Copies of this chain bind each other. A is one copy, B any other.
Amino acid sequence: MRLARKDLLGLKEINKEEISLILDTSESLKEILERDIKKVPTLRGKTVINLFYEPSTRTRTSFELAGKRLNADVVNISTSVSSMVKGETIRDTVRNIEAMNPDIIVIRHPVPGAPYFIANLIKSSVINAGDGAHEHPTQALLDLYTIREKKGRLEGLRVAIIGDIAHSRVARSNIYGMLKMGMDVTVAGPATMIPLYIERMGVKVTTDIDRAIEGVDVIMMLRIQLERQIENLFPSLREYSRLFGLNLDRLEMAKEDVIIMHPGPINRGVEIAPEVADGPHSLILDQVTNGVAVRMALLYLLAGG
């Protein structure tokens, strides 16, 4: 089977059937990761280029492993917007890469929309690996996969997404995907971190984390960007942690079979307490494992099929 689209850019434009196809394909590919010989010849002779304009060890590694385990040739190009010293436009950079006949370009770029712009320029498939604060669709797909794997379904589940909603591409992509799969989504965070009019997307909004997590099946904590956010948006880390961090006390008020997720990397003791991150409800490492399977599925559905 194959996705009836060239690219995977965001979950905004993808439909429920496509998401289900990706999750089902991930399920059959995940089995490979548990084998002694984690390799199938599916994408032999195909080329995947990881074009990363922002540093990202974990996402780049996940795509690299996904490609290699399908036998694709994987080439990494790490650059930065500021170091594009030679003055070439991104349009020219990408058309040059395209001229080398890659099958799939995986791109991470700090500018929202950059992957869309690029996908329109070229015939190769483009996968968005994160574009600014806009979308991070492969993260949301691996999150959906992880929830479905644990809960057996998505439809009807209730989820709370907690943290800096406004600057989170993970939150945006998850909101699109979860609503399409029939989930009930509440977002929670300090008022300074909630975008105006977000309820128009179809989510509930609160600034009270205790209310947000009450009765939900899934709690998804977002990462606080220590480097820059706190000082402008919140009095202090300690205050943030007290009001919006997920600790054992708060967890006790949640459903007994609640699952805890986090896109990583986690700030222990800030948005999530160590005992919660490492506790029995946490699926944080399952998310990482499933990330490889979901990316294998996408490479397969876009290039192989």
Measured CB to CB, the residues of A under 8 A from B are 33-39, 44-47, 49, 57-58, 61-62, 64-65, 68-69, 73, 75, 77, 79, 85-89, 92-93, 95-101, 226-227, 264-268, 285-286, 288-289, 291-292
Known: A47-B38, A77-B61. A265 touches B96 (CB 8 A): yes
* Contact A288/B39 with A47-B65, A87-B226, A87-B267 known, Cβ cut-off 8 Å: no
Pick from B65, B99, B266: contact of A88, CB under 8 Å: B266
Interchain CA distance A57-B53 in the complex, whole Å: 13
Inter-chain contacts of A65 with B (CB < 8 A) = 47, 73, 75, 100
Can you show 8 pairs from A to B with CB atoms below 8 A apart? A37-B44, A38-B46, A38-B101, A47-B65, A47-B69, A65-B73, A92-B268, A93-B265
Looking at A87, A93, A264, which has the most chain B CB atoms within 10 Å of its CB? A87
- Nearest Cβ distance between residue A255 and chain B, in whole angstroms? 25
From B57, B68, B97, B288, contact of A61 by CB (8 A)? B97
CB contacts (< 8 Å) of A64 on chain B: these are 75
Q: How many copies does the complex hold?
A: 3
How distant is the Cα of A75 from the Cα of B73 in the complex, in angstroms? 12
Contact B33 A39 (CB under 8 A): no
CB distance from A54 to the nearest CB of B (A): 11
Distance (whole angstroms) from the CB of A168 to the closest CB of chain B: 15
CB-CB nearest in chain B for A291: B100
Instruction: For A66, give the chain B residue with the smallest CB separation.
Output: B100
Contact of A73 among B68, B92, B267 (CB under 8 A): B68
When C-beta atoms are compared, the residue in chain B nearest to A277 turns out to be: B92
CB contact between A265 and one of B75, B92, B285, B286 (< 8 Å): that residue: B92
Min C-beta distance of A40 to chain B, whole Å: 9
The chain B residue sitting closest to A101, CB to CB, is B33
Distance from A73 Cβ to chain B, minimum over Cβ atoms (Å): 4
Contacts of A93 in B (CB 8 A): 57, 265
Report whether B268 and A89 are in contact in the complex, using a CB–CB cutoff of 8 Å. yes
Distance of A233 from chain B, by nearest CB (Å): 17
Residue in B46, B68, B266 whose beta carbon sits within 8 Å of that of A37 in the complex: B46
Q: Which residue of B lies closest to A226 (CB)?
A: B87
Q: How far is the CA of A266 from the CA of B266 in the complex (A)?
A: 42
Q: Which residues of B contact A267 (CB under 8 A)?
A: 87
> From A36, which residue of chain B is reached at the shortest CB distance?
B45
Pair A99/B285 contact, Cβ less than 8 Å: yes
Q: How far is the CA of A291 from the CA of B115 in the complex (A)?
A: 26
Question: B99, A289: Cβ atoms under 8 Å?
Answer: yes
Residues of B within 8 A of A289 (CB): 99-101
Contact of A45 among B38, B86, B97 (CB under 8 A): B38
